[in-house]
Amino acid sequence: MKNLDEAIAQIRKAFSQVLVKDIYSSPVVTIKQNSPFHVVEHMFRENRIKHLPVVDENNHLAGLITMADLHRIIPPKRDI
């Protein structure tokens, strides 16, 4: 366990100076609140993302839709 604790401490130290601006994704891919369901699915696939900020008509953040949200509505296909 000591090696694991040391490794975690080293990782924390290495990343302690990393800022969000250094790692965030840009440009931000968003979707409008009134977009049809099939557009959400298409955007996830097209952009290879699992989270999508939802914006209102003024482009203000209204929420976030995730792949898990979609799977609650339509379960993913399983290979048989």
pLDDT in tens, the chain (80 residues): 678 889 888 888 888 888 989 888 889 999 999 999 889 989 999 999 999 999 999 999 999 999 999 888 877 676 65
Q: What is the pLDDT, as a whole number, of residue 61? A: 97
The CA angle 59-61-63, to the nearest 5 degrees, is: 135
Fold of 20-80: CBS-domain (3.10.580)
Displacement of CA 62 from its chain's centroid (Å): 15
Buried b (16+ CB within 10 A) or exposed e, 12-47: eeeeeeeeeeeeeeeeeeebeeebeeeebeebbeee
Q: What is the pLDDT at residue 1? A: 65
CB 33 within 8 A of CB 54: yes
Note if the pTM is more than 0.85.
Answer: no
